Structure 1
Amino acid sequence: MTSDDERELKAHLERLRQEHRDLDAAIAALTAVAGADVLQIQRLKKRKLQLKDRIGHLEDELFPDIIA
């Protein structure tokens, strides 16, 4: 992997982490509101889990566990 590829992956990883944090804040705000749309909250949680999986995959790609 070249340094440019690594830099792009790190930037993409940071964008995904930011989106994950934003979703966390949105979910918290919606759950605090009485009568919030449960379906919308479930969709946001699903998207957040997808982001978490993608973040984990990118972290593994950037920082592989090398067992000696």
Structure 2
Amino acid sequence: MPRYITLRPELYEQLRQEAARRNRTIKAQALHWLTIGKAVETSGLYPHTELSALLERFDLENQFE
């Protein structure tokens, strides 16, 4: 049974562009990024505050693309 999520338009566009660069479908690229995020978050190597700061910085750097 399919499940759906809503993405911010700019995140969807980044996903689409990266999928094209990597010769992946948008779904495959999204799953790839989700897997990386899960691995990083569950590794215990990075405190939540550090990950939050990194994501905030990433969002700021990429808001004008």
TM range (shorter): 0.3 to 0.5
Larger gyration radius, structure 1 or structure 2: 1
More helix by share: 1
